[in-house]
Amino acid sequence: MSAIDHEHGAQLTWSGELAARLRMKWLVLSTAIEERLVYRGDFAFSTLVRFLPIVTQLFMWNSIYSGDTSQQMRGYTYPDMVSYYLLGMLARAFSSMPGLSTGIAQSIANGSVRKYLIQPVDMLDHLFWHRVAHKLVYYVIAAAPFAFVFWMCREYLPGWPGATLMMAWTASLVMSFLIGFLIEALIGLIAFWFLEVSSLIFIYMMLSYILSGHMIPLEWISPWVPWVQWLPFKYLAYFPVAIILGKIPPEQVWTELSVQAGWIVVLFIANRVVFRLGVRRYSAYGG
């Protein structure tokens, strides 16, 4: 008698289906956290090392402003600049995705992407929960150094914003994580067409460093590049900072947040479409 008639993954009710999916996401998340913790020492060290450039940055801005705390440059005083830099760093802690594009590109090039085609799993969903795990572990390790740096620079920082702004800021940070994930995943998926994407990733890194407002405030760039405000990159760093620093009129904050959410929808659909096309190409040409 053959085992051919066995029922596999029998049709579940919608609530059963949802529960099964959530359980899987949770397990990917918890397994990825465990994996991260294997390298906790390594991870903690690299996290701390990333705080070192702060000192040089602060010195740089200090000399640019010649230590004058009242002088303004295109709307930013030296304390504004310090706040901008520190809050920008915090935003990048949400939106940066080290190794995501490269990881996807490598798995396509070396064939390990096959796993996601053979097993009943969704690659992007899998990678997403993986990334959430990485971020959670990162926040636990980076919380203390972040708190220390903010405390050291407390006299430059603006006061606590009101509850509404805090909510808007939190929402923008969470969404910046989603936008960062979706953009980098999309770039990684290009490897379905071009096997060598490392230079493309490098160019993206350079552009996003500037266009996200990570390097300098976007107000300083927009006179030359007015369309920078229409791109999704500003949500990776500039936008959350601008909310706290009051650079965005309060009545516009909610409109901007909706636009940010709109970008998430657009990028999500783009990811799905590109993934489908990529897999189609993969199974037509390589495999």
146 to 175: interface string for other proteins, x by CB under 8 A: ------------------------------
Q: Which range, of 22-30, 41-49, 182-190, 227-235, touches other proteins by CB under 8 A? A: 22-30
The 3-state DSSP class for residue 76 equals strand
What's at 223, amino acid-wise?
A: P
CB atoms closer than 10 angstroms to residue 167: 13
87: exposed, middle or buried (Cβ count in 10 Å: 0-12, 13-18, 19+) = buried
Site for other proteins in 29-58 (CB under 8 A): 31, 34-35, 38-39
Smallest distance from other proteins to CB 117, Å: 6
DSSP assignment of 116-182:
HHHSS--HHHHHHHHHHHHHHHHHHHHHHHHHHHHHHTGGGS--PPPHHHHHHHHHHHHHHHHHHHH
Q: Measure the N-to-C terminal CA separation of the chain; round to a whole number of Å.
A: 34
**Residue 10, C-beta contacts closer than 8 angstroms, at least 6 positions apart:** none
At closest approach, how far in Å is the CB of 12 from other proteins? 8
99 near other proteins, rule: CB under 8 A: no
The residue within the footprint of other proteins, chosen from 4, 49, 52, 163 (CB under 8 A), is 4
Q: Which of 18, 48, 64, 121 binds other proteins (CB under 8 A)?
A: 121
Q: By CB under 8 A, is residue 118 in contact with other proteins?
A: yes
Q: Which residues bind other proteins (CB under 8 A)?
A: 1-4, 6, 8-9, 20, 23-24, 27-28, 31, 34-35, 38-39, 111-112, 114-115, 117-121, 282-287
